[in-house]
Amino acid sequence: MDTKVIVTSKEELNEILENIILRIDEKKGRGKGEKLYYINQVARMLGKAHETVKKMVENGTIRSTKDKKIPESAIDEYLQRDKK
């Protein structure tokens, strides 16, 4: 068996694990319906820091599910409010 060492950042590892979880959810049929995003994904989309988006979720600026996943419609709502 070949042993390989992979060097990555904490953020990249989180993203990899989140994507794996999303794929598992989709295979189990939980991915049907509105698309949900993790805080890291939304932070990248909005060009904001992870902690900034996390605080926005915590203070209700961006709506999320109980497990802190952010629905696509919540991102759209935030962007519409931000334009005004």
- Domain ranges (residues) in the chain: 10-83
What pLDDT was estimated at residue 15?
Answer: 87
What is the spatial distance between Cα 16 and Cα 36, in angstroms, rounded to a whole number?
Answer: 16
- For the residues 11-15, what does the mean pLDDT come to? 89
What pLDDT was estimated at residue 14?
Answer: 87
What pLDDT was estimated at residue 66?
Answer: 85
Residue 50: partners with Cβ closer than 8 Å, 6 or more residues away: 11, 39, 40, 43
Name the CA dihedral angle for 23, 29, 32, 35, rounded to a multiple of 10 degrees: -30
CB 22 within 8 A of CB 40: no
Amino acid residing at 18 = E
pLDDT in tens, 22-72: 777 766 655 557 889 999 999 999 999 999 999 999 999 999 988 889 999
